């Protein structure tokens, strides 16, 4: 593997010394959904690193062959065994250092039911005053939660863009 | 390179036969911005494949080390030599077949000035009735344009999610 600027490009890329394949490294999409039920939101306590033991909005790496919405619903199912009716885009949050882009939707639990998915040790509905702000796994989730409660107070639904 | 399911995973991944590196293939982010000026929007005619000669909303692959917003502003500069003041998230659009996620912002030209960037052969402001609908490069741009004019008619600003 060597580093060079391919023809027509303007950035150093990793190029295989054997087969000349250009290995582009681009940001990855993490897709998720903040599920709402009555006046509460659903969070999962992480069973895995990073940030094991902290609470998070259901989310994970988007896979090939799915839309961001399908990926978000899949993650809610995998982490919280819940079905969600997606309302719309809630936040787009970039972690520059890790080159991750979180696309978070807002949605509603279909029937209020949920369980404990493989990657969670606990899943729970929280009202605003119950949110464990000091134990939220990632800044993207804190951002999504704060914006949700702000918007709800103001009676608006809108998308937000943030970064760290 | 061989294909196997890594421990703790549930999907086939490409794994290097020599060094055991797992090569995850994930969707890529294309970030862009629909620049508005007075009652018009700015489009670029593509100088490069794919869809060379067709009109497009300024957009391109997000790079490491930038936020989606910074990438969107960079693309507007590279393709249209224009500075843009970003208002907010406008559309998230997944091309399932190509595993691309378009994150498109809406924004306003800072001073109404623009030029012709390296990847464009022509750059132009269009009113709604002037949009060359049959010559729009990608469905993601058609979606973003239609939603923009709909929202403007209805006096709302909101984010939309779509896919193909």
Tell me the two tokens of residue A149: 């409660």
CA dihedral B58, B64, B67, B72 (to 10 degrees): -10
- Are B28 and A26 within 8 A, CB to CB? yes
Task: Find, among A89, A35, A60, the residue nearest to B103 by Cα.
Answer: A89
Nearest C-alpha in A relative to B158: A158
Cα angle B10, A141, B29; round to 5: 60
Cα–Cα distance between A30 and A47 in angstroms, integer?
Answer: 18
What would the pLDDT profile of A98-139 be if each residue is shown by its tens digit? 999 999 999 999 999 999 999 999 999 999 999 999 999 999
Provide the total of helices (H) and of strands (E) in chain A, helices listed first. Answer: 2, 11
- Are B68 and A161 within 8 A, CB to CB? yes
Could you say which of A11, A64, A92 has the minimum Cβ distance to residue B89?
A92
- Taking the CA of residue A146 and the nearest CA in chain B, the distance in Å comes to 17
Report yes or no: A124 and A66 within 8 Å, Cβ to Cβ: no
What would the pLDDT profile of B92-140 be if each residue is shown by its tens digit? 999 999 999 999 999 999 999 999 999 999 999 999 999 999 999 999 9
Whole-complex ipTM: 0.88
Contacts of A74 in chain B (CB under 8 A): none
Size of interface A-B (CB pairs under 8 A): 100
What is the reported pLDDT for B20? 74
Cα–Cα distance between B162 and A84 in angstroms, integer?
Answer: 17
Q: Mutation test of the interface with chain A: which of B5, B101, B107, B151, choosing the one with the most A Cβ atoms within 10 A?
A: B101
A88: pLDDT strictly greater than 80: yes
Cα–Cα distance between B80 and B139 in angstroms, integer?
Answer: 20
Per-residue pLDDT of chain B (164 residues; tens, 9 = 90+): 788 887 767 777 777 777 777 777 889 999 999 999 999 999 999 999 999 999 999 999 999 999 999 999 999 999 999 999 999 999 999 999 999 999 999 999 999 999 999 999 999 999 999 999 999 999 999 999 999 999 999 999 999 999 99
Computed over every residue of chain A, the mean pLDDT equals: 94
Give the strand pairing for A100-109 and B2-4: unpaired
Cα–Cα distance between A131 and A113 in angstroms, integer?
Answer: 20
- Taking the CA of residue B100 and the nearest CA in chain A, the distance in Å comes to 9
Provide the total of helices (H) and of strands (E) in chain B, helices listed first. Answer: 2, 11
Q: Percent of chain B having pLDDT more than 70?
A: 99
Cα–Cα distance between A44 and A124 in angstroms, integer?
Answer: 7
Cα–Cα distance between A68 and A74 in angstroms, integer?
Answer: 10
What is the reported pLDDT for B21? 74
When pLDDT is averaged across residues A31-39 and rounded to a whole number, the result is: 98
- Are B96 and A11 within 8 A, CB to CB? no
- Are B99 and A28 within 8 A, CB to CB? no
Cα–Cα distance between B120 and A143 in angstroms, integer?
Answer: 37
Report yes or no: B101 and B94 within 8 Å, Cβ to Cβ: yes
- Are B62 and A26 within 8 A, CB to CB? yes
């Amino acid at each position: 593997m060597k580093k060079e600027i391919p023809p027509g490009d303007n950035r150093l890329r990793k190029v295989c010394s054997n087969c000349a394949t250009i290995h582009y490294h681009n940001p990855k999409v993490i897709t998720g959904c903040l599920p709402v039920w009555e006046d509460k939101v659903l969070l999962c306590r992480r069973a895995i690193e990073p940030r094991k033991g902290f609470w998070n909005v259901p989310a994970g790496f988007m896979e090939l062959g799915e839309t961001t919405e399908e990926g978000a619903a899949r993650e809610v199912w995998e982490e919280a065994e819940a079905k969600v009716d997606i309302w719309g885009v809630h936040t787009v949050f970039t972690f520059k250092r890790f080159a991750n882009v979180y696309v978070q939707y807002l949605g509603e639990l279909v029937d209020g039911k949920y369980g404990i998915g493989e990657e969670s040790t606990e899943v729970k509905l929280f009202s605003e005053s119950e949110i464990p702000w000091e134990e939220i796994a990632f800044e993207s989730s804190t951002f999504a939660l704060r914006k949700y409660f702000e918007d709800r107070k103001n009676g608006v639904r809108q998308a937000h863009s943030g970064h760290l």
